[in-house]
Amino acid sequence: MKLLKATTLAEVAGLIGAKAIGSDSLAVTGINEIHVVEPGDIAFVDHPKYYAKTLASEASVIIIDKEVDCPEGKGLLVHPHPFDAFNELTKHLQKELEGAMNATPDIDSSAVVMPGAHVGKYVTIGANTVIHPGAVIYDHCVVGQNVTIHANAVIGSDAFYFKRKPHHHEKLRSVGRVVIEDDVEIGAACTIDRGSTSDTIIGKGSKLDNQVHVGHDTRIGERCLFAAQVGIAGCVEIGDGVVMWGQVGCAANVSIGDGTIIYAQSGIIKSLEAGQTYFGSPAVEARAKMREIALIAQLSRKK
């Protein structure tokens, strides 16, 4: 999430009641989750296991729950509850951002939004796009040209992102978007979550069958094909021309290379190389898995 205008370490410290370590005038230009941070961004960390990774990231400012050595050129915001502080900051910044925007959806005159569909605020819909009855387009979504969104699809619902606390689960506020590029088709009853702080992206020319789920901050490349009931967790990077057959499940924080094919009902738990075909749970190279199945069948017959 990029800010309307740059602010400073000292100003952010005042907003969330944190102790600033570093140059008070250090520029802050955005706020992002650790997997998508860029120079100028604020990130947060609240567990020693992730201190080193976060401090070494591209983030310029880190909200942290303990005073540690501040890396050169960065700033720290020490707060007893970094997750809560991050939530409060995104709430403030989103309110500021929306105050400068036109809330009325920008829908091209050639687009068709059928009766019963809902289009939220700050939404953009491109030329020759068709939104079928019952589809819901949440606030801030961007839909390109020649897109078809079928009945009862939900685009832009909140990220499934919770912090476990002693007596409840605290939800991370979702302030990202869904961006659907040109020539995409979204099947009936698909659900696509918006990014927690950045964008969930469906690449140009990709086609999603019915009942496909795409988690927050996942980025799908161009010309991909996903069959029914594919489920993709958050923060997944999927290349161009990837094919997933029915009921493939994909864990969070993995990458899938260009041209990869995954057979039906496979489970992806680690990153997959480009141009290969995979099968099984956990998914492995398909020919190796077929040989394994054949050998098991032979052993069974010998008993």
Active site positions, annotated: 216
Distance CA 244, CA 241 (A): 10
Give the number of other CB atoms < 10 A from CB of residue 171: 13
- Helices first, then strands: H and E counts in the chain: 4, 34
Q: What is the DSSP letter of 22?
A: S
Distance CA 236, CA 69 (A): 32
Question: Phi then psi for 255, rounded to 5 degrees?
Answer: -125, 145
Could you tell me the CA-to-CA distances from 212 to 139, 155, 293 in Å, in that order?
Answer: 21, 11, 28
> Token pair 């008070």 is at which residue?
24
- The burial of 194, by beta-carbon neighbours within 10 Å (0-12 exposed, 13-18 middle, 19 or more buried), is given as buried
Q: At what angle are helices 82-99 and 9-16 packed, to 10 degrees? A: 110
Contact present, 183 and 146 (Cβ < 8 Å): yes
Distance CA 216, CA 195 (A): 4
Could you tell me the CA-to-CA distances from 25 to 71, 88, 93, 223, 250 in Å, in that order?
Answer: 16, 21, 19, 45, 42
| Helix boundaries (H) for the chain | 9-16, 51-55, 82-99, 286-302
